[in-house]
Structure formats: structure tokens, C-alpha cells
Amino acid sequence: MSGQAIGRRFKRWFWRPPRPHGETIHNRTVSFLELFYDLAYVVVVGQAAGHLAEHVSVRGFVEFAVVFALIWIAWVNGSLYLELHAREDGRTRTIVFVQMVVIALLAVFTADATEASGAAFALVYAGLLTVLTWLWHTVRGQDRLDRPEFLAVTGAYVLGGSVSVGIIFGSAFLPVVPRLIVWGGFALAWIVSILLLTRRARGNLSGGVTPTHSLVERFGLFTIIVLGEVVLGVVDGLSVATHDVKTISTGLIALMLGFGFWWMYFDVVGRRLPRNDGGALTHWLLSHFPVTLSIAAAGSAMVSLIGHAGEASTPASTAWLLAGAVAMGLLALIVTERALVDAERLAAVYQPLTSAMAGAAAAAILIGWVRPVPWLLALLLVTILSVLWFFVVIRFLRADAWGQEQ
């Protein structure tokens, strides 16, 4: 083969256009490139969670929730692009690495994003949104050639991305509090927009989105990322605390709470396909925001819990943050599981599970209100998740469906 032919073949491989909407690869698996991409978000989430660990309060949680929402929105946009439009080629690798460079820079300013580094965070985040919007625009350009039925929805999506860039860029020049309000409004508007686009696309998330096992795996992997914050929270807490029996015991019990989150998520909703009718897919996707937010917040709360292990009762802010995170995660999982194919196929399992998770969430709130000694608070929350998990297992066994995923 001549050098010219090799050059043409390389160019064709390196810079092919993205897959158009609707060109779903049903047997696709998550690539090593996507796993590498997620590692960049590990750092950003860790920086945001570290800020909450140092500011355990209502204001600290609100600030964390807003910054986490921005991070999650960027991850969803980047991950959905890879799921729907990426190819195994040089172009995909290049754009992923470009994003990772921007995300790494974003992490530098994340820990202090709600204070002194807010302007820099906004400018870098606007840059990241610019890259993501351009990527979706390239898909729309491809659709303009052969998939006109998707133009309206993708056009609205690209327009929304362009407006988002302007809003975030402009927020860099605002004082701290107004900037945080703009960011919160932006996150809320993004969620509402997705819901509106769902209706416009007649039930699909954005037209051309089909539930696949690789899509489910992508969201499961992000859940793994935030579960890592639970381990990190325990390690950070124990690293700076007195290494006595009570403190170490509190930390290890708190770590078991992370195990409980893992068991509940991956046995109840993990690896299970959402329905592709009505707004089920959208509800499944959006419910992962409070699920992952709650897990990351719990990891931050553990640093404070371990730091106060020797006290007679858990500080109110720490108790409410940890117990509230457990309750929020369980309530969000109700939305997630109701959107599953298995919610209809295994109704005998999932219908009573809704009531059980709601009751467990109420019990977690009660424990947060009582504020027992830190080790006992953690143990009671672990007990709630354990009892709930056994309830799930018994239901699956009675339905002869344990270990079955759709």
C-alpha cells in the first residue's frame, strides 16, 4: 500500500464525523477512554466534597449542591455525547483529552468556587460548556444531512448550550452571592429544559436516545466515583483525628454506610435498564443527580462525624447532613426504580419497595433529629440500609428473580 493511501486511511480513521442521532450501538460496552475520562471528574468531585467537609452547615450544603450540580451537568453532557455519537477513532480520543485538560483546570478552582476562586471557576466552566456545545453542534450538522427529524430538538439543545455559555461567562463578573444564585438558577433551568425537551421529543430524552446497557453502566460508574468520596471521607477523618478505639470504630462503622449505599444502588437499580416510554428515561437520568449528590454529601459528613467521635452527641449540622443524605438518597432511588423495566416486570418486588424506602428515609431523618453519639448514629443508619437490603433480597427470592437484570 502506498504512503498516500495510508495517509488517506489514517485521515479517514482519525477525523470521521460523529455518529448521527438514532445510530445506536446496542451491544456497545464502556470503553477504556470513557473510564479515563471519568477519572478527571473524580478529582473535581473530590475538591467540591472537601469544601463541604470543612463547612458542614446549611450554607455549606447549598454551596456544595450548586457546584455539584454544575459538575454533574457537565459530566452528563460529555458522557451522553460519547454514548450516542462517539466512534473508536482519533477524533473521539482528541476531544476527550481536550475536555480532560479543561476539567483538570476546573478542579484547581473547585474547592473555593463559592468564594475567592468563583470567577476563575466560572470562566473555565464556560470554556468546558463551549467545547460541549460545539460537540453537539457537530452532531446537528451531521443530522442536517440525513436525519431531519431530530433537527428541532437538537437545535433547541445547541441553542440552550450557547445561552448557557453566556450566562456562566457573565457570572464570573458578579459578586459571590449573586454568582451562586445564577449558578443555582442555571442548574434548575437545565433540569427543567430537559423535562421540556422530553415532551417535545414525544417521550425520548432528546430524540435518538435509547436505553442501553452501556448507558446504564456509565451512570453506575459515576455512582462508583461518588462512593469513593465515602471512603475518602473516612480516611481523611481518621488521618487527622485521635487514633483511639472510639474514633477508629466510628470511622469503620461510617465506612460500612458506604457499603450500604453500594448494595442498595447496585442491587435495586444498578445494571437494570430504564423504560423507553414516556418520561421514564428522563426521570431515571435526572434522579441520579440527587442519588449521587447524597452519597458525596455523606462522604463529606463523615469527616466531621469522625472528628467529633468523642463527644456525647453528634453536632446538629453533622447529624442532619449525614442522616439527610441517607434519606435523600433513598427517596431519589424511589424515582429511579419506578422508571425501570423491572418495575413492571417484577412488580411484586418493586411496588412494596417504594413504601419500604420511604419508611427508611423517615427513620433516617428521625435519627438525625435525635442526634445520638456519633458511633451510634452511624450504626443506626447502617442498620436501616441493612434491613432495607434484606427486605429487597427476600422480595427478589420470593419472586425467583434474585440476580436477574434486564
Q: Express each pLDDT in 239-267 by its tens digit.
A: 988 889 999 999 999 999 999 999 999 99
Among residues 356, 334, 218, which one has the least CA distance to residue 265?
334
Domain count, the chain: 2
What is the maximal distance between C-alpha atoms in the chain?
79
In a domain, 168, yes or no: yes
- Name the residue type at position 132: L
- Domain of 62 in residue numbering reads as 28-200
Give the whole-angstrom CA distance, residue 196 versus residue 215: 21
Residue 5 lies in a domain: no
Q: Looking at residue 275, what DSSP letter applies? A: P
Same domain for 233 and 193: no
Distance of CA 195 to the CA centre of its chain: 17
Asked, for residue 206, whether it belongs to a domain, the answer is no
Residues of the chain with pLDDT under 50: 146, 203-204, 206
Instruction: Give the cell for residue 344.
Output: 413492571
Q: Is 228 found in the same domain as 186?
A: no
Confidence (pLDDT) at 2: 63
Give the model's pLDDT for residue 4.
64
What pairs with residue 274 in β-bridges?
Answer: 340
Predicted pLDDT of residue 148:
65
Alpha-carbon torsion 212, 218, 221, 223, what sign? negative
Residues 355, 321 share a domain: yes
Q: Which of 171, 200, 229 is the last residue of a domain?
A: 200
Query: How far from chain centre, in Å, is Cα 3?
Result: 46
**The predicted structure's pLDDT at residue 385:** 96
Contact 284, 339 (CB under 8 A): yes
Helix, strand, coil % over all residues of the chain, rounded to 5: 80, 0, 20
Residues 342 and 272 sit within 8 Å (Cβ to Cβ): yes
For residues 243 and 107, membership in a common domain is answered with: no
- pLDDT at site 279: 82
Could you tell me if 189 and 288 lie in one domain? Answer: no
99 plus 178 within the same structural domain: yes
Take residue 56 and report the three cell numbers written for it: 458542614
Which residue, 173, 200, 227, sits at the end of a domain?
200
User: For cell 427476600, what's the residue?
Assistant: 394
Looking at the fold, whether 42 and 112 belong to one and the same domain comes out as: yes
